[in-house]
Copies of this chain bind each other. A is one copy, B any other.
């Protein structure tokens, strides 16, 4: 084995980690062949082969057109994971409602391992078309350049935020992305005071968003509710004010519904 064998923390099963890398490679490339995977993961063809076959036997991959792709089984597992989240269960109807009323893209985001995960989103009537919808839902995002992410960060203890920034950094996405640690902490302060996070074209040029945290009775943050709209729309102070009030109200209703259920 190569020199730099890093300690993965606890003892782990290398074969399982390898399988996980296989799954990741299949997702990234949208399907792989045996030789291709062997090259990408730097293992022998026979190893790549047996991994793919094993995952296929277990229903996690399927062969389509001579390539191995992710099985729909993942969509079953994904639904299972989502549905355990009260934020998803109680938030989904509110997202539908908000998207309907505002006509804009509306999302629910939660945090996992320091990244934002888009649990659900709806494109409202006036929402711009394109690959935006499917692209976002497939993606784990950094938390510092989205309104949803910043809303979550603002509700997390300071040292947790520091930990996340250490781990994932603050890469720029547009010219407006916050890439400085101190600026970020100041921004989070502002968000706490104001009650909502504002994304000023920090992720996508021409797009702004408003994000509001959703908390449980113990004040742990479960995630956030957000609405994004063209910069043009958001530049109108009044519209923005109205919209933020609206999102805060919905987030609050979600919180109440979650609290009543437990």
Residues of chain A touching chain B, judged by Cβ–Cβ distance below 8 Å, are 8-13, 15-17, 19-20, 23, 27, 30-31, 50-51, 53-55, 57-60, 62, 69-85, 89, 110, 112-113, 117, 119, 134, 137-140
Copies in the assembly, this chain: 2
Does B138 lie within 8 Å of A80, measured CB to CB?
Answer: yes
**Which residues of chain B are near A112, meaning CB under 8 Å?**
59, 62, 71-73
Known contacts A13-B19, A13-B50, A54-B17; is A81 also within 8 Å of B74 by CB?
yes
Does A55 lie within 8 Å of B16, measured CB to CB?
Answer: yes
Of all chain B residues, which has the CB nearest A112?
A: B72
**Which residues of chain B are near A113, meaning CB under 8 Å?**
59, 62, 71
**Which residues of chain B are near A9, meaning CB under 8 Å?**
57
Does A80 lie within 8 Å of B84, measured CB to CB?
Answer: no
Does A58 lie within 8 Å of B119, measured CB to CB?
Answer: no
Of all chain B residues, which has the CB nearest A78?
A: B78
* Sample of 30 A–B contacts (CB below 8 Å): A10-B50, A10-B57, A11-B53, A12-B50, A13-B15, A13-B19, A13-B51, A13-B54, A15-B16, A16-B16, A16-B54, A17-B54, A19-B19, A20-B55, A20-B58, A23-B77, A62-B113, A69-B81, A69-B84, A71-B81, A71-B113, A72-B119, A74-B78, A74-B81, A76-B139, A77-B77, A78-B79, A79-B137, A80-B138, A83-B134
Of all chain B residues, which has the CB nearest A96?
A: B122
